[in-house]
Structure 1
């Protein structure tokens, strides 16, 4: 992949995450505790889910490590780290 493509993909991921999170802004959304006792909100999960969908469609061979849903192996040698 060329750097321009990577940057464009990263921008699409950020835009999609923002769109997923925006409806929850100042909504009084409660958080729950994960197994490690750290908080997570529905907005966090929705943002990571949409980013994962985009990556699976556009970079299906890349690995993903996400704060909310853990790791998925890849075969390209590239890893995306998601922390909404």
Structure 2
């Protein structure tokens, strides 16, 4: 597993077995995580635009977590504390 970006209390972006994962802190009073695997389109955008795209995607998730909740990885998907 390769940690590409780590912005504590914001988001973490990693690569694992050629797949990319984004772990985003959301909420205000009650904080929760939305953890997604990048799809093919998002991966292509990351490869073309770099970390700036990941910053934008993390902000989109933070502002509209319900749009990504269906993609949220199940608890225990990774065996480590990611955030």
Give the TM interval when normalised to the shorter protein. Answer: under 0.3
Higher relative contact order (CA 8 A, sep 6+): 2
Normalising by structure 2, report the TM-score.
0.26
Q: Who wins on radius of gyration, i.e. which is larger?
A: 1
Normalising by structure 1, report the TM-score.
0.26
- Structure showing the higher strand proportion among its residues: 2
